[in-house]
Chain A
Amino acid sequence: MNDKEVREMLENEKVPEKLEPENIKKMLDEKAPAVKRKKITAVSRFAAIAAACAVVSGTAVHFAGKGNNINKSGKSEITSMNELITNVTENITSPTTPPAPSVSSEGPYMSGAENYGEIYALIQKANENYQNESRRNSYRYMTKGGALMKEEEFEDGADYSAAPAQEDGQLSGTGNNENSQEHSDTFNQEEGVLEADIVKTDGKNIYKLNPGGTYYHNDYMYDDALMTETAIDDITLVKGYNRIMPSVSIVGINSDGSFGEVSKIDLTDVISKIGDKIENADVTARQMYLYNDMVIVIGSYYNWDTDCQCSDEKTFVAAFSTAEGHKLIGTYIQGGSFNDVRIAPDGYLYLLSGYNSDRFSVIGDADNLSRFIPRAGLAESYDFIAPADILMPEDDIESLEYARYTVIGSLDLNSSDSITPVTSKALAGYSGQMYCSANNIYTTVYNFYEDLPEEVEYGFKTQKATESEITRIAIGGGQIVPAATGKVPGVINDQFSMSEYNGYFRVATTCYEYEMTYRKGEYYEYYRYLEDGDYEKLEEPVKKEYGYYSSHELSQDNRVYVFDMDLETVGSIGGFGEDEFVRSVNFSGDMAYVVTYEQTDPLFAIDLSDPTAPKILDEYKMLGYSSYMQRWSDDLLLGFGPDADLKGRITGIKMVMFDNSDPSDLKEVGKVALNTKDYDYIYSSATNDRKALLIEPEKNIIAFPTTESRGYVDHNIASYKFYSYADGKFTHKGDITLRNGEGKHISFQRALYIGDHVYAVTDDGTVYAADIDTIEVTGKIKI
Chain B
Amino acid sequence: MDFSEDVRLAQKGSTEAFARLYAEVYKDMYHIARYSLRSTEDASDAVSDAVLDAFCSIKKLRDPNTFRGWIMKILSVKIKQKQKEYFADTEELSDDSKISSFSYENTELKEALERLDSESKLILSMSVLGGYSSDEIAGVCRLKAGTVRSKLSRIKEKLRLELT
Provide the A1-27 mask, 1 if CB < 8 A to any CB of B, else 0. 101011101111101101111101101
Interface flag for A525 (CB, 8 Å)? no
Check if A10 sits within 8 Å of B125, measured CB to CB.
yes
Interface flag for A35 (CB, 8 Å)? yes
Contact partner of B69 (CB less than 8 A), chosen from A25, A40, A713, is A713
Check if B102 sits within 8 Å of A9, measured CB to CB.
yes
Interface flag for B99 (CB, 8 Å)? no
Stretch at the interface among A70-78, A153-161, A362-370, A399-407: A153-161
Check if B62 sits within 8 Å of A707, measured CB to CB.
yes
Residue in A closest to B44 when the chains form the complex, CB atoms: A16
Check if B40 sits within 8 Å of A6, measured CB to CB.
no
Is chain B's binding surface mostly helix, strand, loop or mixed? helix
Provide the A382-400 mask, 1 if CB < 8 A to any CB of B, else 0. 0000000000000000000
Residues of B within 8 A of A43 (CB): 59
Check if B14 sits within 8 Å of A157, measured CB to CB.
yes
Residues of A within 8 A of B103 (CB): 12-13
Contact partner of A158 (CB less than 8 A), chosen from B12, B55, B135, B144, is B12
Check if B133 sits within 8 Å of A228, measured CB to CB.
no
Contact partner of A1 (CB less than 8 A), chosen from B34, B40, B163, is B163
B 54-69 contacts with A by CB, 8 A? 55-57, 59-60, 62-63, 65-66, 69
Contact partner of B52 (CB less than 8 A), chosen from A15, A28, A222, A680, is A28
A48 touching B48 in the complex, CB below 8 Å, given contacts A13-B40, A650-B4: no
Check if A712 sits within 8 Å of B55, measured CB to CB.
no
A53 nearest CB across to chain B (Å): 12
Interface flag for B93 (CB, 8 Å)? no
Residue in A closest to B53 when the chains form the complex, CB atoms: A220
Q: With the chains together, A150 CA to B48 CA distance in Å?
A: 20
How many interface residues does chain A have, given as a range?
Answer: 35 or more
Check if B8 sits within 8 Å of A688, measured CB to CB.
yes
B127 nearest CB across to chain A (Å): 8
A649 touching B15 in the complex, CB below 8 Å, given contacts A16-B40, A225-B57: no
Residues of A within 8 A of B145 (CB): 711-712
A338 nearest CB across to chain B (Å): 15
Interface flag for A256 (CB, 8 Å)? no
Q: With the chains together, A9 CA to B114 CA distance in Å?
A: 11
Interface flag for A714 (CB, 8 Å)? yes
Provide the B105-116 mask, 1 if CB < 8 A to any CB of A, else 0. 010011011000
Interface flag for B104 (CB, 8 Å)? yes
Contact partner of B104 (CB less than 8 A), chosen from A12, A19, A24, is A12
Check if A711 sits within 8 Å of B57, measured CB to CB.
no
Check if A678 sits within 8 Å of B133, measured CB to CB.
yes
A650 touching B2 in the complex, CB below 8 Å, given contacts A25-B16, A27-B48, A161-B11: yes
Q: With the chains together, A228 CA to B59 CA distance in Å?
A: 11
10 A–B contacts, CB within 8 A, in A order: A9-B102, A32-B56, A48-B13, A157-B14, A161-B11, A229-B60, A650-B2, A712-B139, A745-B62, A747-B62
The 9 closest A-B pairs by CB, nearest first: A157-B13, A713-B139, A157-B12, A25-B19, A21-B23, A679-B133, A28-B15, A21-B19, A679-B135
